[in-house]
Each structure stands twice: as C-alpha cells, then as structure tokens.
Amino acid sequence: MKLIRPYGDTSHDGKIQLSFTLPVHADGQGIEAAKRLATQLGLLNPQVVHAEDIHEGYAFFVVYASVKFDLDLDQIHVEEALTERKSREEIEVILQENFDRELVFVGASTGSDAHTVGIDAIMNMKGFAGHYGLERYRGIRAYNLGSQVKNEDFIRFAKKVNADVLLVSQTVTQKDVHIRNMVELVELLEAEKMRERVILIAGGARITHELAKELGYDAGFGPKSYAEDVALYAINRMIANKSKP
C-alpha cells in the first residue's frame, strides 16, 4: 500500500485549488454558495480567497481547500499503449529483421476536422520537436491524406494501397464530435470486413488510450507522442499477429 494526498507545502496536507464561476453575485450568499460547493465535493476547510462579479449575476471564485482521504497508488493501474521507447534507427532494424516488405501506414485528420499539425507531426518527413515522421522511416510507406477526409474516402484509399496501419487524428472534441466520427469509422471498417485486417490507431490532444480502446481502436495516443511511439506500437502488434496461429 502506498498512500498519498495532494501536497501544498507540507506532506499530506491535502491542499488543492479550484476556480469556477457560479450564477450568483459575489456577495455573502454567493461566497457561502462557493464554500458549500467545496464542502459537498467532500473538501475540508474551504477558503474562498477570491470572489468577483464578472457579469450581471455571475461571479468568479478561487477556492483553496484540503482533501480528507488518501489514495492508494498501488491500486491504480493504467493501460498504456506503449511501455517502452525506441529510436528510429532501432525501429528500422526491427522492421528489417521481421518484414520482407514495406509496411503501409495511411493517416488523416478525418471527418470535419481541419487540424493537420498533429498528424503531420507523426507522419511528415520533417516530423516534430526533433522526432522525424514516419515518411522518413526505412521499411515504412506512409501516406498522409491531410484533413477533412471523409471516413469513406479514408477507407477507399486504405483498401487501394493495402494498408497495414490506419492512423486517425482528431483534434476537435466539442460536443463529442470526435466520438461520433471515430465510431463511424469502426462501423464502416466492420461493414467492409476490414477491421481485423488493419491496426487502427487514433491520436490527438484529447485522445487517450482508454478512450480509443473503448471505441474499438487498437490504441490511442495523446500529447507528447511521436512517430517512434506509433511505429513501435504498430510493429509490435504486427509481429504478435504474425505469430498467431
């Protein structure tokens, strides 16, 4: 058992800060409402350190308080897409040793999403933050279809080039627009009997591995992921699939 609490300036003081807006005035009643909010969240000794009217009938609060419970770190397990990191050179060696053909990666920012910087970071030659993209990998043929690519078109292209790995980037998440779009892709892949034949990977600032798995993807990658991570994951999966009877 490893018990922890938030750390302010003393071990185990449990201090946290909150800020929020309530539809109230920043008067006695409003401040009390902010305090109650914290109390009902289970926080101890809430202190409303700032209260300010920001619009007629709306006030902004900053609150400090303590939590009164411990978390057992040993009880917390997360599944991550990747447990190790390797360099591009190391990955190229693995590719060479295990495959006698180029692996085909097809990526796009799909649906109505117009953000390309994320998928470009993973795929384009020049890469991102010092990490070259998949286009530069020996042993990988990478097709980056850009943004606002319809799921139908994405699949059509993947079929045409016999894709091994599909990379889906989703940046806009408001009103869960990404979820609808991501689920639609899985459904279309299933209808085309393609889902089992490809490794399906999603990525984006608000994408987690957990979410991606839940939506029927093999893996999900969030911020600070690079081409190496995706390549390694996909390759490991393909090697594992190969050895399956």
Partner 1 sequence: MNQFHLDPSIIETCRQDAFLIADEVLSMVEQHSTVSVERSVLRLIGVDGVNDLLEPLPNMMVDEVYHHGDLSKGISRYLASALFQSGLNLTEFQQAYLKGQVQLITPHLEDLDTCRNVLKPYLQKTFDRIAKNRDTRHRFLEKETPRTTDLYVIVATGNIHEDVIQAKAAAKAGADIIAVIRSTGQSLLDYVPYGITTEGFGGTYATQANFQIMRKALDEVSKEEGRYIKLVNYASGLCMPEIAAMAAIERLDVLLNDSMYGIIFRDINMKRTFIDQHFSRMINAKAGIIINTGEDNYLTTSDAIEEAHTVLASQFINEQFAFAAGLPEELMGLGHAFEIDPSVENSFLYELAQAQMAREIFPNAPLKYMPPTKHVTGNIFRAYQQNTLFNIVTQYTSQSIHLLGMMTEAIHTPFLQDRYLAIQNAKMIQTSMKSISEELVIKEDGLMANRAKKVLEDASLLLKQVKESTLFQALEQGVFAGVKRPQDGGKGLDGVFQKSPDYWNAALDLWEVSR
CB nearer ligand B12, residue 15 or residue 136? 136
Do 110 and 166 contact (CB within 8 A), yes or no? Answer: no
Residue 179 touches which of ligand B12, partner 1, none (Cβ within 5-8 Å per kind): none
CB of 112: closest distance to partner 1 in angstroms? Answer: 4
For residue 126, indicate whether it is catalytic: yes
- DSSP secondary structure letters along 136-162: G-TTEEEEE--SSB-HHHHHHHHHHTT
Containing 53, the helix (H) or strand (E) segment is strand 43-55
CB nearer ligand B12, residue 98 or residue 173? 173
Binding interface with ligand B12 (CB under 6 A): 107, 112-119, 121-122, 128, 167-169, 171-174, 201-206, 221-226, 230
Residue 221 touches which of partner 1, ligand B12, none (Cβ within 5-8 Å per kind): ligand B12
Tokens of 138: 């020996």
- Rounded CA separation 115/132 (Å): 19
In the complex, the residues that contact partner 1 under the rule CB under 8 A are 19-21, 54-56, 58, 60, 112-114, 116-117, 120, 146-148, 172, 174-175, 177, 205, 223
Q: Which residues are known catalytic residues?
A: 126
